[in-house]
Structure 1
Amino acid sequence: MAEPSAQEQNATTTDHAPANVEVDTSYENDASYDEAQSWYSASLTSSALDFRHENGRRYHRFRDGSYLLPNDEPENDRLDMVHELCLLVLQRRLFLAPIVNPQRVIDLATGTGIWAIDFADQYPEAEVLGCDLSPIQPTSVPPNVKFLVDDIESEWAYGKDPFDFIHARFLALSIRDFGKLLKQCYRSVKPGGWVEFQDWDGYPVSEDGSIEGTGLERYYKEVYGAFEEAGYDARPGPKLEKWFKDAGFVNIHVEKFVIPYGVWPKDPYYKTVGAWMQAQAESNGFEGAAMAVLTRFKQWKKEEVLVLSSQARADGRRRDIHMMFGFYVVYGQRPER
Structure 2
Amino acid sequence: MAEPSTPEQTATTTNYPPVNVEVDTSYENDSSYGDELSSYSASLTSSVLDYRHENGRRYHKYRDGSYLLPNDESENDRLDMVHELCLQILHRKLYLAPIKSPQRVIDLATGTGIWAIDFADLHPQAEVIGNDLSPTQPTLVPPNVKFLVDDIESEWAYERNPFDFIHARNLALSIRDFGKLLKQCYRSVKPGGWVEFQDWDGYPYSEDGTYNGTALQKYYDEVYGAFEKAGYEVRPGPKLEQWFKDAGFVNIHVEKFQVPYGVWPKDPYFKKVGSWMQAQAEANGFEAGALAALTRYKQWSKEEVTVLASKARADGRKRDIHMVFNFYVVYGQRPEN
TM surpasses 0.5: yes
Name the CA distance, whole Å, in 2 between partners of 1:160 and 1:215: 50
1:29-66 deviation line (CA, Å, top 9, x unaligned): xxx95x87566444422321100000011100000000
5 Å-filtered alignment, 1:106-145, equals 106-145=106-145
* Pair 1:26 & 2:43 matched: no
Name the CA distance, whole Å, in 1 between partners of 2:288 and 2:139: 25
Name the CA distance, whole Å, in 1 between partners of 2:152 and 2:72: 20
Name the CA distance, whole Å, in 1 between partners of 2:122 and 2:30: 46
Displacement after TM superposition at 1:142 (Å): 1.0
Aligned-partner residue type, residue 30 of structure 2: S
Aligned-partner residue type, residue 62 of structure 2: F
1:189-237 deviation line (CA, Å, top 9, x unaligned): 0100000000000000100000111000000000001111111011000
Displacement after TM superposition at 1:160 (Å): 1.6
Secondary structure class of the residue paired with 2:309: helix
Does the C-alpha gap of structure 1 residues 19 and 248 become closer, same or farther in structure 2, counting only changes over 3 Å? Answer: closer
Match in the other structure for 1:64: 64
1:132-170 deviation line (CA, Å, top 9, x unaligned): 011100111111111111110000123621110000000
Match in the other structure for 2:12: none
Aligned-partner residue type, residue 268 of structure 2: P
Alignment RMSD, CA only? 1.8
Aligned-partner residue type, residue 91 of structure 1: H
Does the C-alpha gap of structure 1 residues 311 and 42 become closer, same or farther in structure 2, counting only changes over 3 Å? Answer: same
Name the CA distance, whole Å, in 2 between partners of 1:27 and 1:258: 64
Name the CA distance, whole Å, in 2 between partners of 1:178 and 1:267: 34
Secondary structure class of the residue paired with 1:70: coil
Secondary structure class of the residue paired with 1:148: strand
Name the CA distance, whole Å, in 2 between partners of 1:134 and 1:37: 23
Name the CA distance, whole Å, in 2 between partners of 1:277 and 1:20: 54
Match in the other structure for 2:186: 186
Match in the other structure for 1:260: 260
1:309-328 deviation line (CA, Å, top 9, x unaligned): 00000000001100010000
* Pair 1:85 & 2:89 matched: no
Match in the other structure for 1:47: 47
Aligned-partner residue type, residue 29 of structure 2: T
**More displaced, 154-163 or 54-63?**
154-163
Displacement after TM superposition at 1:26 (Å): 3.5
Name the CA distance, whole Å, in 1 between partners of 2:133 and 2:334: 27
Name the CA distance, whole Å, in 2 between partners of 1:278 and 1:133: 27
Aligned-partner residue type, residue 172 of structure 1: A
Aligned-partner residue type, residue 51 of structure 1: Y
Larger radius of gyration: 1
* Pair 1:292 & 2:288 matched: no
1:58-77 deviation line (CA, Å, top 9, x unaligned): 10000000000010111100
5 Å-filtered alignment, 1:124-203, equals 124-158=124-158, 160-203=160-203
Q: Which runs of 5+ in 1 are unaligned?
A: 1-14
Name the CA distance, whole Å, in 2 between partners of 1:25 and 1:203: 61
Length-normalised TM-score, structure 2: 0.91
Name the CA distance, whole Å, in 2 between partners of 1:333 and 1:178: 17
Name the CA distance, whole Å, in 1 between partners of 2:23 and 2:205: 62
Name the CA distance, whole Å, in 2 between partners of 1:39 and 1:106: 31
Match in the other structure for 1:280: 280
Corresponding pairs, count: 318
Percent of aligned pairs with the same residue? Answer: 77
Aligned-partner residue type, residue 246 of structure 2: D
Does the C-alpha gap of structure 1 residues 128 and 222 become closer, same or farther in structure 2, counting only changes over 3 Å? Answer: same
Name the CA distance, whole Å, in 1 between partners of 2:308 and 2:222: 9
Length-normalised TM-score, structure 1: 0.91
- 8 Å Cα contact 2:159/2:187 also seen in 1: no
Does the C-alpha gap of structure 1 residues 93 and 250 become closer, same or farther in structure 2, counting only changes over 3 Å? Answer: same
